[in-house]
Amino acid sequence: MKPHARTEKQAVDAADLHHEAGAPAAARSLPYETIALVLQGGGALGAYQAGVFEGLHEAGIPLDWIAGISIGALNTALIAGNAPEHRVERLREFWETICQPAFFPTIPAAFEFALFNSIDQIRTFFTASQAASAMMQGQQGFFVPRFPPPLPGVSDHPEKISWYDTSALRTTLLKLCDFDRINSGETRVSVGAVNVGTGNFVYFDNSRIRLAPEHFMASGALPPAFPPVEIDGEYYWDGGVVSNTPLMEVLRAHPRRDTLAFQVDLWSARGPLPRTMADVAERTKDVQYSSRTRFVTDTLQREQRYRNVLRHVLEQVPEAQRKNDPWCVEAEAMSSGKKYNIQHLIYQQKAYEHHYKDYQFGLSTMRDHWSAGLDDIRKTLAVKDGLALPVNDAGFVTHDIHRRR
pLDDT tens digits, 369-378:
999 999 999 9
Q: Are 249 and 76 in contact (CB under 8 A)?
A: no
Q: Which of 133, 162, 238, 368 is flagged as catalytic? A: 238
| Per-residue confidence (pLDDT) for residue 236, from 0 to 100 | 98
Q: What type of residue is 90? A: R
Q: Which of 36, 41, 50, 94 has the alpha carbon at shortest distance from 72?
A: 41
Other residues' Cβ atoms within 10 Å of the Cβ of residue 73: 30
pLDDT, tens only, 27-53: 557 999 999 999 999 999 999 999 999
The DSSP bridge partners found for residue 259 are 34, 340
Asked about 400 being catalytic, the answer comes back as no
| Per-residue confidence (pLDDT) for residue 142, from 0 to 100 | 98
Q: Are 226 and 142 in contact (CB under 8 A)?
A: no
| Per-residue confidence (pLDDT) for residue 308, from 0 to 100 | 82
Q: Report, as ranges of residue numbers, the positions in the chain whose pLDDT lies below 50.
A: 1-3, 7-23, 25, 405
| Per-residue confidence (pLDDT) for residue 342, from 0 to 100 | 95
Count CA within 13 A, CB hemisphere, residue 259. Answer: 31
| Domains contained in the chain, CATH given | 8-403 (3.40.1090)
pLDDT, tens only, 342-396: 999 999 988 888 899 999 998 889 999 999 999 999 999 999 989 999 987 778 8
Q: Which of 83, 86, 36, 43 has the alpha carbon at shortest distance from 62?
A: 36
Asked about 70 being catalytic, the answer comes back as yes
| Per-residue confidence (pLDDT) for residue 307, from 0 to 100 | 83
What residues have CB less than 8 Å from 86, skipping those under 6 apart? none
| Per-residue confidence (pLDDT) for residue 28, from 0 to 100 | 52
Q: What type of residue is 154? A: V
What residues have CB less than 8 Å from 317, skipping those under 6 apart? 325, 328
Q: Which of 70, 133, 190, 243 is flagged as catalytic? A: 70
| Whether this model's pTM surpasses 0.85 | yes
Q: What type of residue is 133? A: S
